[in-house]
Amino acid sequence: MNYKELGLKVGLEIHFQLDVDRKLFCNCSSAMKEKEPIAIVKRKLHPVASELGEIDVAAQFEYLRNRTFFYEVFRNESCLVELDEEPPHDTNEEALKVALQIAKLFNCKIPEYIFVMRKTVIDGSNTSGFQRTMIVGFDGYFEFKGRKIPITQVCLEEDAAAIDKEENGNVYYKLNRLGIPLVEIDTGVIESLEPKEIEEIAYQIFLIASSTRKIRREIGAIRQDVNVSIEGGKRVEIKGVQRLSLISKVIEKEVERQLELIRKGEKVKKETRAAKEDGSTEFMRPLPGAERMYPETDIKPIKTEDVLKYLEIPEPLNKRIERYEKEYKLSKSLIESLLKTDYFFLFEDLARAFPNVESSVIASVLSSTLKEIERKEKIEIKLSEQKLFEFFEALSKGFIFKEAAYDILKKMNEGKSIEEVVKELGLIPLTKEEIIKIIEETKKEVADKKKLIGIVISKVRGRANISEVIEMIEELS
């Protein structure tokens, strides 16, 4: 399909949950660990007419569905603020800092005063009937393949409650997600690019925002809305694309859908559609109007000068990737797989702390050995950064060898110290004399040198430096 000729226009809205401990407007934990609700509160929402007597078409649509909302309350993770029973507290300063860092990374203008706004949302996902949101940056851009991709705005907002279940017009929402700090990054209209390229843009945005090290990466913590239109069609907003890798498919399918309607002589309607797992979409509601935003009068405006004074701007991730290639000689594919882990930043901390351990060894332990243990042993790796430091320190001191990484890390993951693990596995390093003895004994049985090397290596595996052992065999024969 020739998307250029079709006049494909796409706008992205990318949402990231911030990895901070507290919620945006209260002191509830943002961990979302609790499983069982401790209480359920029943609510109705009503549309409110604006001063001109107009009710937002999206709000009216939701109201006519006459649904009843049930809010599940979780210990430590929801309080009176989430229940709309107490006014919001001051804006979480850590979250604000991260949002401002992101705005700066996208070359945005920062308002001198930030005003928190109320955006009308009446599908029940916000107990109050609105979502609190603030613009922290506007008129920004970033470079992609030599062109400037416009970033129209970066907003800090509260995440909405997640639907637990829906039955007979009763919708159950989990309150623990409501209020988690969320950054929304909106691109301007992107024209004459392929759907695949737009997906790459989304990935670049993710990488740049990740530079703050405060972006959550779990499933559901990153969500995209994609606006798509073609010549002769209409702007359709597709909400809730859960994976970056689904974006191109969603765009392709929406273009097909609009083309099909045009072909049949039907009108494409301006509307909001929901993305499904396979990239297709279904109707959600009409597109909301513009008069949905008004000030949150319960929160004082924020003077950004005071925050910006002490704000450090992190190194952009794409710059860091280039540096990893050059400084640490990591291959592109190794960097790719490292990016998929939680250890991308930790890599450099380790590489700097232990310069005599090869960078590629550190990178591959972090990106593949740990994954391999998870996959083969069917366990979850929960090693702290400190434990990983212990491991590489032992490696650096020659106390352990990289060949034993799998076994040692597997045991360390059970909570054991490295000393305990080494003892338990019998991986105490061999002395030179012991190695020589093994070589001499093996030589008596095997004459062929190639075979000899193989057998000796298997005997000393994990207890000696392999290249040193090979050298020793060479010397002794």
Binding footprint of other proteins on the chain (CB under 8 A): 41-53, 59, 80, 83-87, 111-115, 117-120, 122, 127-130, 133-135, 138, 152-153, 155, 290-295, 297, 300-301, 303
Select 156 or 452, whichever has its Cβ closest to other proteins: 156
Comparing CB distances to other proteins, the nearer of 47 and 462 is: 47
| DSSP SS3 for 195 | helix
Of 177 and 292, which has the nearer Cβ to other proteins?
Answer: 292
The least CB distance from residue 156 to other proteins, in Å, is 11
CB of 304 to other proteins, least distance (A): 9
C-beta of 33 vs 44, nearer to other proteins? 44
Instruction: Return the number of the residue (7 or 87) whose C-beta is nearest other proteins.
Output: 87
| Contact indicator for 402, 366 with CB cutoff of 8 Å | no
Q: By C-alpha distance, which of 157, 202, 206 is closest to 177?
A: 157
Nearer to other proteins by C-beta: 300 or 451? 300
Q: What angle do CA 241, 218, 373 make, to 5 degrees?
A: 130
State the nearest-atom distance from the C-beta of 34 to other proteins, in Å: 19
Reading the block at residue 393, the tokens are 């320190």
Instruction: Mark 185-220 as b/e (b = at least 16 C-beta within 10 Å).
Output: bbbbebeebbbebbbbbbebbbbbbbbbebbbeeee
We find the least distance from the C-beta atom of residue 255 to other proteins, in angstroms, to be 26
Is residue 240 a contact partner of residue 220, using CB atoms and an 8 Å limit? no
Q: How far apart are CA 404 and CA 406, in angstroms?
A: 6
Distance in Å, CB of 198 to other proteins, minimum? 21
Phi, psi of 126 (to 5 degrees): -125, 125
User: Rounded to the nearest whole angstrom, what is the least distance from the CB of residue 318 to other proteins in the complex?
Assistant: 27
Rank residues 117 and 205 by Cβ distance to other proteins and give the closer one.
117
Burial of 67 (0-12, 13-18, 19+ CB in 10 A): middle
Between 294 and 470, whose beta carbon lies closer to other proteins? Answer: 294
Nearer to other proteins, 127 or 229 (CB): 127
Shortest Å, Cβ 153 to other proteins:
6
Exposed, middle or buried by CB within 10 Å (0-12, 13-18, 19+), for 263? exposed
Q: Closest separation between CB of residue 55 and other proteins, Å?
A: 10
Beta-ladder partners of 71: 41, 173
Question: Least distance to other proteins from the beta carbon of 12, Å?
Answer: 15
Cα(417)–Cα(332) distance, rounded to whole angstroms? 33
**DSSP letter for each residue of 368-421:** IIHHHHHHHHT------HHHHHHHHHHHHTTSS-GGGHHHHHHHHTTT--HHHH
- Specify the residue, 42 or 264, whose C-beta has the smaller distance to other proteins: 42
Give the closest residue to 213 by CA, choosing from 390, 385, 13, 415.
385
Question: Is the Cβ of residue 155 or residue 473 nearer to other proteins in the bound state?
Answer: 155
β-strand partners of 191 = 9
Minimum CB separation of residue 178 from other proteins in Å reads 12
Is the dihedral angle over the CA atoms 276, 280, 286, 287 positive or is it negative? positive
Q: How far is the CB of 134 from other proteins (least distance, A)?
A: 7
| Angle 420-423-412 from CA coordinates, rounded to 5° | 40
Smallest CA-to-CA distance from 3 within 186, 251, 188 is with 251
